[in-house]
């Protein structure tokens, strides 16, 4: 819908006043960006963006990602004006406890928010993931060509452009030729500390052209120029597009237009009143929306309804055609028993790395779960995260095996975008040590409750000669500190299979599967391994009541079993508890917890990582075989001797610990 400039100006003015009023009401927020981008939003939402106000989950909607999440009032204002369920009362409650208008957009809390953003650069990469998800669907269902033709729009800031994750994501998007991406760069030249010239000096246009992007430039306050640039970007089908729009922060403010202070603070009552007066509005009026603005958006909705009706008819023909049943079952996950029946036996008599077991499981899962997609940051062969025969990404192509390149941060953020799209279960993989490069995106996945899966191999100092730069120590503790993230460290191949089943069926948040480089024996029978879903379980019970409880995860479970055998020969009865997932164990009832962790029995923790956090299960007076410092570069056997992770050392120290407590009468 092409509006007159006067109509667009009326919409833009309304956006500006709503942003000023909401931030002033909250006495907190970022008015500058919404005011500066109001003209762009007016053109985008009335002429280019395809959406259904009453069906915000419509498959073919254009995705709009506000990567510059601090400017959330821009998005909230547009959702209100467009009739997407956002009320004036919601705007008045901006940044208030329990409101639908939090300081930064949160997916799931506010209808119409495609991804939780705020940490800059994340939304940039999320949009790349959404574009990849679209291409994956078109690959799987070529019949959707011409039906699934939406775009992924994003509004990005100077800060987004500076963040490293955006560079990683932009590079990959250009390589893949993601023509559905249209990113609008709000180039207002202002950062919190002042002009962006303080820290940003490159030619952004040349940089993105080097990535393989199509680039347009426009005056961000000239409606015709904005429309021209967006039309050129939408017309580009083979390359992602960046529209660089020169804007003025806090555009329209009476005295503070272009002032860096407007980035993250209210304008103040005097400046708001003066600005409204200059706009010809009642300075005392608050949250005012002219009726004409609502009418303009109703016109846009009516215009799009004809498109909706035509699309619905075409999509109905697709779903009732030859591929209709396959489409309907595409996102239906087989139950746990069906998955188990389709997985390999994993009954090796020789020790195998859990990364190898995971790789075998993944190969089968690709056939059982058609919407399972993912890849690695250039370590697919090491982590065993590649499924043969299912296509792979490359120059201008997409496959279910995605080569992310050495871009761990972007990989995790792109994975979030794929999950936000809602049609796929994405996984990513690398060495556990590089989790730190992914952590910001993993945290956002947990915050959003996204079903994402992380495969991390080389999980401890036992990876050996690569040394302390690559030996994780604090990483399990750091991962367990993230709320709503399930950290699963399986003890053997069969627990690894169960970890995958849990991760696939967990729809309320991300799951991490932590895997070994070195071989481990198969220790749990198929039935007992299913107790992984309870977080911890009794793997070995002595013939008489236990004198000590050995709590271990991952490769250290087999070490605990070996130590228990040695202790039995010395008259100490040890119960061995496999403890693959704290979060699952926390969710169990108190009766089960006390059954596994029998009160009044000394406890020992065996885990080749930081002790941090184990106290709540074992207590401060437990005996700990953990890592308090970095490892060293040496073969695995030498490292076990150096750091005390041998069955003989563990058994000797436990024997002394138990006997001392018995002599002293300490339970």
Which residues, in sequence order, are bridge partners of residue 537? 578
Cα gap 488→260, rounded to integer Å = 46
Question: What is d(CA 43, CA 231) in angstroms, rounded to the nearest whole number?
Answer: 11
Which of 118, 99, 105 is CA-nearest to residue 78? 105
> What is the Cα–Cα distance from 414 to 422, expressed in whole angstroms?
13
Contact 259, 233 (CB under 8 A): no
Q: Which two tokens stand for residue 417?
A: 């975008």
Backbone angles phi, psi at 579, to 5 degrees: -125, 70
Cβ neighbours for 32, distance < 8 A, ≥ 6 positions apart = 71, 188, 190, 249, 250, 259, 262, 263, 264
Q: Which H or E run contains 175?
A: helix 164-176
Name the burial class of residue 197, with classes exposed (0-12), middle (13-18) and buried (19+) by CB atoms within 10 angstroms of its CB: exposed
Residue pair 430/459 in contact (Cβ under 8 Å)? The answer is: no
| Paired tokens of 441 | 């995106």
Give the CA distances from residue 123 to residues 50, 52, 161, in Å, rounded to whole numbers and listed in that order.
19, 22, 11
Exposure class string for 450-482: b at 16+ Cβ within 10 A, else e: bbbbbbbbbbbbbbbeeeeebbbbebbbbbbeb
Question: How many Cβ atoms from other residues are within 10 Å of residue 346's Cβ?
Answer: 19
* Active-site choice (140, 216, 271, 408): 408
Active-site annotation holds for 408: yes
Two structure tokens written together for 240: 């992602």
Q: Chain centroid to CA 175: how far? A: 22
* Active site members: 408
């Amino acid at each position: 819908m092409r509006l007159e400039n006067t109509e667009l100006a009326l919409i833009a003015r309304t956006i500006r006043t709503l942003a000023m009023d909401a931030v002033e009401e909250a006495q907190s927020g970022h008015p500058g960006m919404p005011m500066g981008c109001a003209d762009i939003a007016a053109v985008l939402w009335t002429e280019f963006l395809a959406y259904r106000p009453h069906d915000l989950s419509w498959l073919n909607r254009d995705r709009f990602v506000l990567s510059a999440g601090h400017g959330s009032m821009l998005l909230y204002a547009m959702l209100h004006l467009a009739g997407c369920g956002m009320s004036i009362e919601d705007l008045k409650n901006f940044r208030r406890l329990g409101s639908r208008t939090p300081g930064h957009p949160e997916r799931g809390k506010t209808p119409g928010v495609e991804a939780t953003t705020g940490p800059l650069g994340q939304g940039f990469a999320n949009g790349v993931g959404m574009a990849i998800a679209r291409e994956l669907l078109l690959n799987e269902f070529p019949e959707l060509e011409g039906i699934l033709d939406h775009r992924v729009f994003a509004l990005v800031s100077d800060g987004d452009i500076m963040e490293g994750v955006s560079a990683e994501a932009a590079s990959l998007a250009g390589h893949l030729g993601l023509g559905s991406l249209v990113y609008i760069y709000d180039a207002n030249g202002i950062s919190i500390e002042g002009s962006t010239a303080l820290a940003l000096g490159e030619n952004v246009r040349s940089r993105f052209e080097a990535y393989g992007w199509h680039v347009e430039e426009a005056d961000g306050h000239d409606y015709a120029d904005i429309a021209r640039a967006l039309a050129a970007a939408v017309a580009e089908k083979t390359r992602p597009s960046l529209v660089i729009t020169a804007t003025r922060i806090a555009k329209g403010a009476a005295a503070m237009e272009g002032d860096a202070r407007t980035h993250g603070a209210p304008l103040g009552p005097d400046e708001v009143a003066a600005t409204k007066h200059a706009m010809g509005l009642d300075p005392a009026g608050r949250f005012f929306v002219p009726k004409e603005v609502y009418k303009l958006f109703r016109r846009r909705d009516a215009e799009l309804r004809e498109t909706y009706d035509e699309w619905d008819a075409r999509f109905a023909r697709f779903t009732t055609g030859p591929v209709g049943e396959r489409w309907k079952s595409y996102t239906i996950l087989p139950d746990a028993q069906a998955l188990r029946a389709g997985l390999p036996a994993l009954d090796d008599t020789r020790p195998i790395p859990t990364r190898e077991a995971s790789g075998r499981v993944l190969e089968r899962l690709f056939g059982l779960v058609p919407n399972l997609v993912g890849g690695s940051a250039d370590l697919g062969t090491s982590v065993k995260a590649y499924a043969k025969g299912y296509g792979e990404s490359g120059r201008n192509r997409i496959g279910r095996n995605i080569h992310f390149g050495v871009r761990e941060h972007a990989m995790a953020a792109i994975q979030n975008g794929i999950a936000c799209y809602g049609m796929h279960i994405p996984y990513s993989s690398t060495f556990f040590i590089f989790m730190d490069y992914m952590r910001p995106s993993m945290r956002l996945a947990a915050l959003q409750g996204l079903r994402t899966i992380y495969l991390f191999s080389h999980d401890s100092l036992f990876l050996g000669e690569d040394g302390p730069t690559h030996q994780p120590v604090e990483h399990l503790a750091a991962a367990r500190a993230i709320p709503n993230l399930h950290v699963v460290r399986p003890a053997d191949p069969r627990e690894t299979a169960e970890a995958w089943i849990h991760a696939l069926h967990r729809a309320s948040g991300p799951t991490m599967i932590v895997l070994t480089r070195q071989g481990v024996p198969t220790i749990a029978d198929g039935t007992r391994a299913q107790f992984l879903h309870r977080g911890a379980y009794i793997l070995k019970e002595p013939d008489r009541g236990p004198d000590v409880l050995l709590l271990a995860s991952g490769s250290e479970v087999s070490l605990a079993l070996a130590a228990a055998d040695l202790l039995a020969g010395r008259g100490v009865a040890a119960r061995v508890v496999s403890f693959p997932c704290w979060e699952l164990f926390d969710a169990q009832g108190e009766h089960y917890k006390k059954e596994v962790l029998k009160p009044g029995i000394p406890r020992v923790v065996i885990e080749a990582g930081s002790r941090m956090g184990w106290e709540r299960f074992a207590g401060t007076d437990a005996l700990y075989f953990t890592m308090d410092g970095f490892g060293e570069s040496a073969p695995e056997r030498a490292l076990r001797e150096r750091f005390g992770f041998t069955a003989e050392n563990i058994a000797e120290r436990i024997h002394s610990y138990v006997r001392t407590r018995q002599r002293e009468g300490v339970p």
